[in-house]
Structures are given as structure tokens and as C-alpha cells.
Amino acid sequence: MAGGLRRAWGLLTGGTRADAARGRRERVPNLFEAAAVYVSACALDDQDRIEEAASWVSPEALSFGVRELACRAVVTLAREHDESPQSVARALLGLPAA
């Protein structure tokens, strides 16, 4: 049972340790890595990096990752500034307070 879980986890995280050690399989970035690279490249207006990150996962997965990153960033900023996530999100987008 534990071996099966270890193999399943290895597949989800980019391969098993043995595969990585033998160099059998090139690790593919997951959707959160793709989202982080995509968003940071957008902030820097780096079109080559944007296209590279977009090629790592499906458009739907990238959209989910970007959405998740945005939610986590807004919640973190709201906690740091002791404000509501809504007010932080509106401020980031330059919208008037609700």
C-alpha cells in the first residue's frame, strides 16, 4: 500500500526518485509553477517567458493556477494590512472603495 502511494505521489510531483536519479524523465512544471512564472513574467512584460509558462500546462490549468495565486496574494495582503480581501482587491485594481 505504501509503495503504491509513493509511486502515485511521485507521478503527481514529477516522477519517482529513482527516475530522477537515472535521469529517465524530465520534470514537467506543475500548474502552480506555471502560474507563478506566468504572472511574474506578465509583471515584467517578458513575452518569451509568458509563452514558455503558458506552454507548460493547458489554458484551463493555467487559468486555475493564476486564479489561485491571485486569491492567495489578496488574502495575504489583507492579513498583512488588517483589511478585508475585498478592499485589498479593489485597491489593487484601482477601484473606489465599496
What's the whole-number mean pLDDT along residues 64-86?
97
- 70: which 3 cell numbers? 491571485
| Residue 9 scores a pLDDT above 60 | no
Residues 6+ apart with CB under 8 A from 87: 78, 97, 98
| Residue with grid cell 485594481, as numbered in its chain | 93
Q: Over the stretch 24-74, which tens digit does the pLDDT of each residue have?
A: 667 788 999 999 999 999 999 999 999 999 999 999 999 999 999 999 999
